[in-house]
Amino acid sequence: MRTLQVDLGDRSYPIHIGSGILHDAKLFTPHIQGEVMIVTNETVAPLYLEPLKATLAGLRVNQVILPDGEAYKNLDTINEIFSQLLTCRHSRRTTLVALGGGVIGDMTGFAAACYQRGVDFIQVPTTLLSQVDSSVGGKTGVNHPAGKNMIGAFHQPNVVVIDTDTLKTLPERELSAGIAEVIKYGLIRDTAFLSWLDGNVEDLLKLDESAISYAIEKSCQCKAEIVGLDEKEAGIRAILNLGHTFGHAIESHCGYGNWLHGEAVGAGMIMAAAMSRRLGWLDQAQFDMVKSLILRAKLPGSGPAGMSVESYRLKMAVDKKNIDGLIRLVLLKGLGEADMVSDYPPTALDQTLIECTPSS
C-alpha cells in the first residue's frame, strides 16, 4: 500500500492506494466518531456496498443508494441525502462515506459540507477518474440546469481510500477517460512522468497493478502539490483545467453523459496543444507526441463532428474562470509547463477550433 499526505494545515489528510484495501478497517476507523452514512449509487452498491459494510462492522452504519449518472447531480438528490441523515437521526458527529465515482464524491462531499453546517467525510473512489481527480482538492458540488458545478463548496475529506481492485469492474471507456486526467498531470507539470506514460500507457489499459498504483500516486501527488499551493483556486490551481474549458463546451453541446468527462478532456487537451503549437509554444513533434499519447489511451482525437466555432464560443463563455466576459484558457507554454492565458489573438482560437473539428 502507498500512502500520500495532502498537506493543508489543519485540513490535511492521507490518501491510501493499494489492492484490496477496501477490506482494511484500520484505514477507516480512526476517522469515524460513531455514525456512518454510506452514499453510493445503483451501479456501485451491488458490487462494493456489502464489502464496505463488512469492513465497518460494529459501527452504526446507514446507507443511501442514489440513481446513477450526472443527470442526478443536483440539489434534489442532495436533499435525499439530507432526508436519510435526518430520518436516521445522524448528529453532527456523523461521517459520510462516498462510495463511487466522481458524481458520488462531489455530491457526498457537498452534503457533508452543508449537513448541520459541516460534518466529516471519507472518499472511497471506485473509478480511475475520481481516484486521480476528485479525491484530491476538496471541490464538491452539484450542477444547475444553467451550468455545471455552479453550486458547491470547498470541503476536504478526512481520508481517501483508493482500492485499485475496484477498477476491475470499470468499463473500458471509463478507464480511458480516467487516463485522460492522468496524462494531464504529465502535460501540465511533470515531463518525467509524461515520458513514463509514453512508455507505459498500454500497461495502464491492461490494469497492470504496479503501473496503475504508480500512476495514481503520481497523479494525486501532482494535484496535491498544486492544491497545497492554492487551495481556493486563486491562481496556479487553474492549470488543472487544461483541456477542461474546451471539454466542458463539448459536454454541454452534446448533452452531459454522451461524451464522458474524460473523453471531452482528452479532446480538449489536443485542442489546447494545437493552439499552443499555433502560438509557437510547442513544436510539431511535441504536438504529435501529445496527440498520439491521447489516441493510444483510446480517447477521441478531435471534437464532435460539425460543432461550430459559435457553439464553442457560446459554451466557453459561461466558464467560471472567465472575468469580464473574456474566455481564459489553460495552454501549454511547453511540455510540463501549463499557464492561464487570456491575451491570445481571437483568430488563433477560431482556427484551432476549426482544425480540431471533423466536418459532419
Q: How far is CA 92 from CA 40, 54, 358, in A?
A: 20, 24, 53
Q: Is 261 a catalytic residue?
A: yes
User: What whole-number distance in Å separates Cα of residue 339 and Cα of residue 321?
Assistant: 13
Q: Is 93 a catalytic residue?
A: no
User: What whole-number distance in Å separates Cα of residue 25 and Cα of residue 46?
Assistant: 20
Binding residue for a copy of itself (CB under 8 A) from 75, 192, 229, 354? 75
Instruction: Please report whether residue 86 would count as binding a copy of itself according to CB under 8 A.
Output: yes
For 69, counting Cβ atoms within 10 Å of its Cβ (0-12 exposed, 13-18 middle, 19+ buried), the class is: middle
Q: Is 237 a catalytic residue?
A: yes
Q: Is 328 a catalytic residue?
A: no
**Binding residue count for a copy of itself, defined by CB under 8 A:** 33
Catalytic residue among 41, 143, 158, 241: 241
Q: Is 244 a catalytic residue?
A: yes
For 358, counting Cβ atoms within 10 Å of its Cβ (0-12 exposed, 13-18 middle, 19+ buried), the class is: exposed
Instruction: Please report whether residue 236 would count as binding a copy of itself according to CB under 8 A.
Output: no
Binding residue for a copy of itself (CB under 8 A) from 44, 78, 182, 249? 78
User: What whole-number distance in Å separates Cα of residue 152 and Cα of residue 317?
Assistant: 20
Instruction: Please report whether residue 115 would count as binding a copy of itself according to CB under 8 A.
Output: yes
If the CB atoms of residues 115 and 312 are measured against a copy of itself, the closer one turns out to be: 115
Q: Is 258 a catalytic residue?
A: no
Closest CA to 315 of 358, 259, 274, 276: 259
If the CB atoms of residues 151 and 207 are measured against a copy of itself, the closer one turns out to be: 151
Catalytic residue among 237, 277, 291, 315: 237
Smallest distance from a copy of itself to CB 110, Å: 8
Contact 37, 85 (CB under 8 A): yes
Q: Is 117 a catalytic residue?
A: yes
Contact 106, 123 (CB under 8 A): no
Q: Is 218 helix (H, G, I), strand (E, B) or coil?
A: helix
Residue at grid coordinates 513533434: 285
Q: How far is CA 198 from CA 44, 88, 181, 296, in A?
A: 32, 50, 14, 9
User: What whole-number distance in Å separates Cα of residue 258 and Cα of residue 100?
Assistant: 19
Instruction: Please report whether residue 342 would count as binding a copy of itself according to CB under 8 A.
Output: no
Three cell numbers at 60?
452504526
Binding to a copy of itself (CB under 8 A): which residues in 293-312?
A: none
Residue 127 marked ligand-binding:
yes
Q: Is 206 a catalytic residue?
A: no
Binding to a copy of itself (CB under 8 A): which residues in 150-189?
A: 150-154
Q: Single out the segment in contact with a copy of itself by CB under 8 A; choices: 65-73, 175-183, 204-212, 315-323.
A: 315-323
Instruction: Please report whether residue 320 would count as binding a copy of itself according to CB under 8 A.
Output: yes
If the CB atoms of residues 91 and 342 are measured against a copy of itself, the closer one turns out to be: 91
Residues annotated as catalytic (active site), given as ranges: 117, 139, 181, 223, 233, 237, 241, 244, 248, 261
Interface ranges with a copy of itself (CB under 8 A): 75, 78-79, 82-83, 86-87, 89, 91-93, 113-118, 139, 141, 144-147, 150-154, 232, 318, 320, 322-323
